[in-house]
Structure 1
């Protein structure tokens, strides 16, 4: 079984399910402001997803002074999570629907 680790600010908590990790990041950590457009959103997966779906790589690199290696790492994290996670469950849980914390 894959263990999912929260890498926000050295948190280090691990989760058996990626959905639990995403909910943890969205509820237990401070929200962050996108340095490109100013949108405030949950840190972790949602911040990465926003950056790469709403902005170009060039905008991300300029705003965050990111290296190509850092961009590739975040793109890889996004792809891995999206290939494994039931994002409908995550949204339902965050909106107070079924599912437990």
Structure 2
């Protein structure tokens, strides 16, 4: 399965999810979390931060999201975390 970088305008494709996440963290601008102000890598890691550090209600309020937006991101997190070797991503990014 190929993994495409979901950051707007990128379109880069990777053979594995770990490479896609590392690409997002190293090749794209970091973003400031609208809930707490923490600066995080864009893409998967930004979504993971928002959904593990904050409530869904905080996310919805801060980002103007709706239930479909939340559902899409939860599904993406689940899909990635089912197959990704998160430890290898952390090791690579250190």
Fold shared by both chains (TM-score > 0.5): yes
Classify the TM-score, shorter chain. Answer: over 0.9
The two structures, once aligned, show a CA RMSD in angstroms of 0.6
Structure 1: gaps spanning 5 or more residues? 96-101
Structure 2: gaps spanning 5 or more residues? none
Structure 2 Cα separation of the partners of residues 68 and 16 of structure 1: 31
Structure 2 Cα separation of the partners of residues 69 and 80 of structure 1: 16
Structure 1 Cα separation of the partners of residues 8 and 39 of structure 2: 17
Normalization by structure 1: what TM-score? 0.91
Larger CA Rg, structure 1 vs 2 = 1
| 2:78 paired with 1:79 | yes
> Which runs of structure 2 are paired with 1:32-51 in the superposition (5 Å)?
32-51=31-50
Structure 1 Cα separation of the partners of residues 8 and 41 of structure 2: 13
Q: Which residue of 2 aligns with 1:98?
A: none
